[in-house]
Amino acid sequence: MHSRKSKPLPTLLAIAAAAVASTGVARADGYGTLQIDSGERQVALLELYTSEGCSSCPPADRWFSKLKADGQLWSDIVPVALHVDYWNYIGWTDRFSKASHSDRQREYFRNGGARATYTPGFFSNGKEWRGWFSGDALETTRPPVGNLALGLDGYSIAVQFSPLVNIEDDLIVNVAVLGMGLESDVRAGENNGRKLQHDFVVLNIQSFDLLDSAGGYKTIAEIDDISTEAERLALAAWVSTRTNQKPIQAVGAYLQ
């Protein structure tokens, strides 16, 4: 360890993704069509903070990839792998790393959600999870928090969150494009000479305000087009408040 101290959707979503019933394949002018919802019980956003420059990370990356075959994938668990940049200085620059990912992990530490900033580091619904190191199963308690529904058509998304919990701050939705089946031939640093394989890699995150309106909190927005050699793409979204990044509800699905 490296350390550094499907229910029916609301009308809004149905309009935004009307073609999903007949297609569901990627389109040339966007990410395809999709409509998904979380259900009212909380879905666990499982965050892995990792780095290609960290010799302790490949076993965690391999375990994360096994979630592709987990029966709880998307229905109970939404996995996202965030590559940090704070190990780039030791000889290998992780091409998936972003300073914003490192900042997000440090924010958990500053808010008391973690004992240190390290890789590999896991968080389940914003709470540090160290069970991976001892081989413990991931616990996914699912209290009712409200339904998160998302519709996608090309690059346009419509999101609606209908909370069952008290909301005392402005809400945002974070939308991430995930890459599957990615490989890197590492030529320097602690993993020199190794071919590393990655899944659920966060390639892009965008955050949008959710506006309080009749029936819940809503937004319609455009997500970025990205260039990637990933074998497959997935989409993950989670709701949090503007002042606390801890996820309230999450949803995800494959795009192709």
In a domain, 207, yes or no: yes
In a domain, 1, yes or no: no
Q: Where are the strands (E) in 51-200, listed by range?
A: 77-83, 117-119, 121-124, 127-128, 146-153, 156-163, 171-180, 182-185, 195-198
Q: Which residue has the tokens 């199963």?
A: 137
| Mean pLDDT calculated for residue range 162-190 | 96
In a domain, 2, yes or no: no
pLDDT band at 115 (very low <50, low <70, confident <90, very high): confident
In a domain, 194, yes or no: yes
143 pLDDT more than 70: yes
Domain count, the chain: 1
pTM over 0.85: yes
In a domain, 232, yes or no: yes
In a domain, 3, yes or no: no
Domain boundaries, position 21: 8-254
Interstrand relation of 232-241 and 171-180 (parallel, antiparallel or unpaired): antiparallel
15 pLDDT more than 90: no
